[in-house]
Amino acid sequence: MSARVEVSGAPQPSELVTLRHGAGGRAMRLLIEDTLAAGFVDMPVDGIGLAAMDDGAALRIGDRWLVVTTDSHVVQPIFFPGGDIGRLAVSGTVNDLAMMGATEPLGLTSAIIIEEGFRRADLERIQRSMLETCREAGVPIVTGDTKVMGRGELDGIVLNTTGVAVTSAVVSDAGLKPGDRIILTGSIGDHGIALMAKRHDLALDAELRSDVAPINALVRAALQAGAGAVTAMKDPTRGGVASALHEMAEKARVGIVIHEPRVPVSPVVRSAAEMLGLDPFHIANEGKAIIGVRAAAADAVLAALRAHPLGSEAAIVGECIAEHAGRVVLDTGLGRRLMAEPDGEPLPRIC
Amino acid sequence: MFDTLTAGARELKFRDPEKARGLSRALEHVCREIGREPVSVMHVCGSHEQSIAKYGLRTILPKALNVIMGPGCPVCVTDMPEVDEAVVLAQDGIRIATYGDMLKVPGTSLSLADAQAQGARIDVVYSAAQAVELARDTTEEICFFASGFETTAVATAAVVLSDPPPNFSVLSAHKYIPPVMEIVAEMPGTKVEGFLAAGHAATITGSALFERFVERHKIPVVVAGFEPLDILAGLVKLVELVRDRTPRVENMYPRCVTPEGNRNAQRQLWRVFRTTGGRWRGIAHVPNGNLRLRDEFARVDARRKFTIDLRRLWSHAPSTLTQVCICGDIMAGIASPTHCPLFGKECVPDTPVGACMVSSEGTCKIWHQYGGHPDL
């Protein structure tokens, strides 16, 4: 091995993984496609595998499907208005299963990595919250793993949950067809804005609450009312509604038109987003779903959603068209434009 | 902190689709009366472009009306050597506090974000006051890399006047808008028949500031706010003045702007800053277009407090891509982003070549996000 002289000590920015790669936008998708999923996407899978880049996997077992999904959770602060990392970890995985049409999860795993010095009282509080959320979702935690790392080797706590469920009908996020209606199950932006307000000490957290909740029962009601007419589902978490809609439009090669005045946004989220220069369509949600449904069944699905306490604000907010394939058009009520796709972590704009 | 009722009422008042359609019809009518096309007007404010793009207003403007975005994004017109100064200070171990938009603005060979990835300390702040707080909390040198037009310059002036700690300094890249309007009006072959002036800057300078400009160039100026109806009503007034050939200043934002402006803020601004000539990126040398600290504030002026040797950044040639970038023509209103061979290809928000792709007020970034003028 010959000695090498480093011409430049500092690696070029393009050689490094940055926070942008974890923000749920285009940069993250490219990192996964180019690096993490490389090779695996070519391996044969009977069902929906990594290549589909869906919320989870669906593996065929006879005439049914085993749905599997996994999610790691890091959140600052750990306790926030409306929830905590434990509620988030259970809800996130239960909801990812539900988005594949599997609304009756069999069980969750829970892997926890804790930083040395973490308060036991906080750990107990997180455990109680997970237990309560599991009861809401009707799912047990069936196995787990615990590690402790040295002080400074991670920031507080990292939680990973994996969920499994069996379903007879899988719903992907790629099934939209022109003419389908787009339903949002409730107001948008609540989770991300509540966290940002808390994180930046914005003194408006009194009214802001995360929407984090398991919505498998709500989704079950929609699927039952839709009787096969639900064509695609996705939960608008990181990257918000804008990211989710772009992904759905691109995968199905349809255009999506969203009517902004019909999109439920709470007044306080709207004001906070405007003040921070943020677009509510880019803000994360943790208890909402975007549901694509055939036009004829849209009203029935909407009624079923609204009858559930977590769907009382559900609305038909748009429709799919054959034109502008892969794009999302926003009708602002004043005019039309393309909906912006978020890139990187939304940062408050200053001027 | 918020009054949601007020926000709701404001929306009803200034975002009403019915009224917007009425104003759109009025615009159509006046443009028809002018009877030729295009009628070209320019706004000089990134916030106007933001609003026009965000609400999709271009889809309801008459085809005959060409609304050009001028050099109204302070981040975009920050010149490369100004970014270089901040990069050099950062490399010398001085903590740079700046607005988030400034991080990715390309310098000659590095942006502040690049310097940060190589180990320099950069703090994103949301106000000049926050930069001073940083300095008060530490013994380290904090240099506030200050950008923006009159509005943000007033905020910088206020902290300079409020006896900042000795470890605080200001690297001013502040710009002053009125002189660049002169440059655009005097450009050979300029198509601009009227200016839409920025309401927030005018709250400070006052609308009367534009009287001399109108007198000299015989081009009307309308001061407008930023809600959709503010902009549409401002445009209606502007094309009426073009139609009637009656160049004058009209204040269509009287709920915030007075003819004389905010005298107290003006006093602070001119007490701290003086104007000097300097390059605006891509545009030209703009006489009196830069705001720099006066001599009496030398102790807070980073340019006098430190020796800034830019030459070490110039051992690498700037990337060849920057020579293809047409940000300057775009800001001068001569070209659109889609005319640029880099737009959406080599130049995207993640890896911007020109500054117009960096700022949320830059034309290229806005077009990249919202699709420019798509037929929707």
B360 in A contact zone (CB under 8 Å): yes
Q: How far apart are CA B63 and CA B136, in angstroms?
A: 54
Q: In the predicted model, is pLDDT for residue A255 greater than 90?
A: yes
Higher pLDDT, B25 or A198: B25
> What distance in Å separates residue B216's CA from the closest CA in chain A?
31
Mean pLDDT of A286-312: 98
* The two three-digit tokens of residue A181, written as one number: 């209606």
* pLDDT in the model for residue B236: 97
* pLDDT in the model for residue A349: 43
Q: Give the mutation candidate from B10, B25, B50, B55 for the A interface (greatest A CB count, under 10 A).
A: B55
Query: Do B164 and B277 share a structural domain?
Result: yes
* pLDDT in the model for residue A6: 38
* pLDDT in the model for residue B10: 47
Residues B268, B273, B275, B281, Cα dihedral to 10° = -110
Residue contact A349–B101, C-beta within 8 A: yes
pLDDT above 90 as % of chain A: 73
B119 in A contact zone (CB under 8 Å): yes
Q: Which of B56, B100, B361 sits opposite A336 (nearest CB)?
A: B56
Q: How confident is the model at residue A25 (pLDDT cuts 50, 70, 90)?
A: low
Q: How confident is the model at residue B288 (pLDDT cuts 50, 70, 90)?
A: very high
Query: Do B157 and B279 share a structural domain?
Result: yes
> Which amino acid is residue A144, in one-letter code?
G
Q: In the predicted model, is pLDDT for residue A310 greater than 90?
A: yes
Q: How confident is the model at residue B2 (pLDDT cuts 50, 70, 90)?
A: very low
> What would the pLDDT profile of A67-109 be if each residue is shown by its tens digit?
999 999 988 889 999 999 999 999 999 999 999 999 999 999 9
Q: Give the mutation candidate from B3, B4, B338, B361 for the A interface (greatest A CB count, under 10 A).
A: B4
CB B112, CB B98: distance < 8 Å: yes
Residues in chain B closer than 8 A to A277 (CB atoms): 360
CB pairs under 8 A between A and B: 100
Domain ranges of chain A: 54-167, 181-338
**Residue A142 parent element (H or E):** strand A141-149
Query: Do B68 and B129 share a structural domain?
Result: no
Q: How far apart are CA B269 and CA B291, in angstroms?
A: 9
Q: In the predicted model, is pLDDT for residue B261 greater than 90?
A: yes
Q: How far apart are CA B343 and CA B348, in angstroms?
A: 7
Question: Is B160 within a domain?
Answer: yes
* The two three-digit tokens of residue B296, written as one number: 């009496």
B166 in A contact zone (CB under 8 Å): no
Mean pLDDT of B55-82: 90
* pLDDT in the model for residue B128: 95
Residue contact B117–A10, C-beta within 8 A: yes
Q: How many CB atoms lie within 10 A of CB A109?
A: 16
* pLDDT in the model for residue B83: 95
Question: Is B257 within a domain?
Answer: no
Query: Do B193 and B341 share a structural domain?
Result: no
Query: Do B231 and B151 share a structural domain?
Result: no
Residue spans of alpha helices (H) in chain B:
4-14, 17-34, 46-54, 80-91, 112-117, 128-136, 150-161, 177-186, 199-205, 211-217, 228-244, 263-272, 302-305, 320-324, 327-331, 363-370
Higher pLDDT, A276 or A14: A276
Closest CA to B70 of B31, B91, B42, B37: B42
Residue B90: CATH number of its domain: 3.40.50.11740
A329 in B contact zone (CB under 8 Å): yes
Residue B209: CATH number of its domain: 3.40.50.11750
Q: How confident is the model at residue B356 (pLDDT cuts 50, 70, 90)?
A: confident
B93 in A contact zone (CB under 8 Å): no
B59 in A contact zone (CB under 8 Å): yes
Query: Do B55 and B27 share a structural domain?
Result: yes
Q: How confident is the model at residue B372 (pLDDT cuts 50, 70, 90)?
A: low
Q: In the predicted model, is pLDDT for residue A157 greater than 60?
A: yes
Residues in chain B closer than 8 A to A324 (CB atoms): 376
> What distance in Å separates residue A22's CA from the closest CA in chain B?
14
CATH class in words for A54-167: alpha beta
Residue contact B100–A330, C-beta within 8 A: no
Question: Is B2 within a domain?
Answer: no
With a CB cutoff of 8 Å and minimum separation 6, the contacts of B299 are B166, B305
Q: How confident is the model at residue B352 (pLDDT cuts 50, 70, 90)?
A: confident
Question: Is B106 within a domain?
Answer: yes
B1 in A contact zone (CB under 8 Å): yes
* pLDDT in the model for residue A238: 87
* The two three-digit tokens of residue A19, written as one number: 């926070």
Residue contact B58–A335, C-beta within 8 A: yes
pLDDT above 70 as % of chain A: 91
pLDDT above 90 as % of chain B: 64
Q: How confident is the model at residue B121 (pLDDT cuts 50, 70, 90)?
A: very high
Query: Do B165 and B149 share a structural domain?
Result: yes
* pLDDT in the model for residue A75: 85
* pLDDT in the model for residue A275: 80
Residue contact A337–B374, C-beta within 8 A: yes
Question: Is B375 within a domain?
Answer: no
Q: In the predicted model, is pLDDT for residue A42 greater than 60?
A: yes
* pLDDT in the model for residue A272: 87
Mean pLDDT is lowest, of A77-91, A192-206, A325-339, for A192-206
Q: How far apart are CA A289 and CA A311, in angstroms?
A: 10
Chain A (57-76) residues lying within 8 Å, Cβ to Cβ, of chain B: none
Q: In the predicted model, is pLDDT for residue B112 greater than 50?
A: yes
Q: How confident is the model at residue A345 (pLDDT cuts 50, 70, 90)?
A: low
Q: How far apart are CA A309 and CA A304, in angstroms?
A: 10
What are the two backbone dihedrals, phi and then psi, of residue B239, each rounded to the nearest 5 degrees? -70, -25
Q: How confident is the model at residue A126 (pLDDT cuts 50, 70, 90)?
A: very high
Mean pLDDT of A187-214: 86
Q: State the residue range of the domain holding B163.
A: 80-176+262-311
CA-based radius of gyration for chain B: 21
CATH number of A181-338: 3.90.650.10
Mean pLDDT is lowest, of A236-240, B109-113, B183-187, B367-371, for B367-371
Question: Is B170 within a domain?
Answer: yes
Mean pLDDT is lowest, of A207-216, B183-192, B196-205, for B183-192
Residue contact A337–B59, C-beta within 8 A: yes
pLDDT, averaged across chain B = 89
Question: Is B328 within a domain?
Answer: yes
Q: How many domains does chain B have?
A: 3
Q: In the predicted model, is pLDDT for residue A1 greater than 70?
A: no
ipTM reported for the complex surpasses 0.85: no
Q: Cα B104 to chain center, whole Å?
A: 16
Query: Do B239 and B353 share a structural domain?
Result: no
> What distance in Å separates residue B113's CA from the closest CA in chain A?
9
Residue contact A340–B370, C-beta within 8 A: yes
Query: Do B185 and B172 share a structural domain?
Result: no
- For the entire predicted model, the pTM comes to 0.82
Query: Do B269 and B172 share a structural domain?
Result: yes
Query: Do B202 and B69 share a structural domain?
Result: yes
Q: In the predicted model, is pLDDT for residue B36 greater than 80?
A: yes
Mean pLDDT is lowest, of B11-20, B47-56, B144-153, B164-173, for B11-20
What are the two backbone dihedrals, phi and then psi, of residue B188, each rounded to the nearest 5 degrees? -60, 135
> What would the pLDDT profile of B133-155 be if each residue is shown by its tens digit?
999 999 999 999 999 999 999 99
Q: Which of A268, A277, A331 sits opposite B2 (nearest CB)?
A: A268
Q: In the predicted model, is pLDDT for residue B33 greater than 70?
A: yes
Q: In the predicted model, is pLDDT for residue B6 greater than 60?
A: no
